[in-house]
Amino acid sequence: MKPEVRQQLIDWAETYNDPVYFQEDPIAFPREFLQRGAALQDIEIAAIFAAHLAWGRRAMIVRDCTRLFDEMEWRPYNYIMAHSYRDDNTSLHRTIKWSEIAHICNRLYHFYSARATSTPRTVSLALDPTVHSVHGSPSYGAEGSTGSGGTGRPVRSLELLSAEEIRVTIFRQKEDKRAANKKINMMRRWMVRNDGKVDLGLWTHTSAADLIIPLDVHVYTQAAALGLTDRKQKDIVTARQITDAFREIWPDDPVKGDFALFGYGVTRKDA
């Protein structure tokens, strides 16, 4: 990597890793739940749906995320566990219909209903309310029960699932080892990175060093223009190559480079 490119990426990342640029962005929704002191499960459900709807103009994404969370009465975990969803073929967001949302909710219901395991990544707010609480105080799930959704047992977290498992288990998309999984990797960035700025840092058993850049056409075009990839395919191999390029700058936090690419896009637009 050329020294001047490296320095420019650092400058962009430092400038644009700032909440001021993301006030009308899909991440604003899980952050809203965080600021309300919601349970981890509410926040991660908000994140997975906000990422799923992150397609198109920001204003339209914000409008339709608001419609979705209004339908959930801003209690997404309770909505999931009530197991009664709006299920019709009218559009929520572009080609995404309410029936598709209902199917995702149903799969989330079965995920959260499964017996919590004893693995280190299982969220156990019921046993230790400070482990994954928000703002350092106990966070409350359904029926006011600390982190247990009223079941008296620990509630599972989506952190248990890899990006590929979320793709297949929650979204019921076909298994594809080459898929870039852009929206899922974006949601994982939100939930894992923890520098106290834009991202939320609530999934504490996943290392930021293991995250992969969320790759779409815009990210690919920007990365290719900067010489961060020489591949033509917009797949997971390319996403890893771009991530590895950022790893030269931020070895423990390579997807910080996502903010550098955002900055590149902003400066190109303003040019």
112 domain residue, yes or no: yes
Domain-embedded: residue 111:
yes
Encode pLDDT of 184-204 as tens digits: 999 999 999 999 999 999 999
Q: What's this model's pTM, rounded to 2 decimal places? A: 0.86
Q: Is residue 130 part of a domain?
A: yes
**Assigned domain for 57 exists:** yes
Mean pLDDT of 60-78: 98
Residue 168 maps to a domain: no
Angle, in degrees to the nearest 10, between helices 98-113 and 40-52: 150
Give a yes or no: residue 218 inside a domain.
Answer: no
Tell me the CA distances in angstroms from 104 to 41, 182, 248, one per residue in order: 15, 18, 37
Report how far residue 197's alpha carbon sits from residue 62's, in angstroms, rounded to the nearest whole number. 20
Residue 87's CB: how many other CB atoms inside 10 A? 14
Q: How many domains does the chain have?
A: 1
Angle 14-19-22 (CA atoms, 0-180°, nearest 5)?
110
Does any domain span residue 44?
A: yes
Residue-number span of the structural domain to which 129 is assigned? 23-160
Whole-number pLDDT of residue 268: 82
User: Tell me: the pLDDT tens digits for 132-187?
Assistant: 333 333 333 333 333 444 444 567 999 999 999 999 999 999 999 999 999 999 99
pLDDT digits (tens, 9 = 90+) for 205-231: 999 999 999 999 999 999 999 999 999
Name the β-bridge partners of 146: 140
The reply to whether 73 falls in a domain is yes
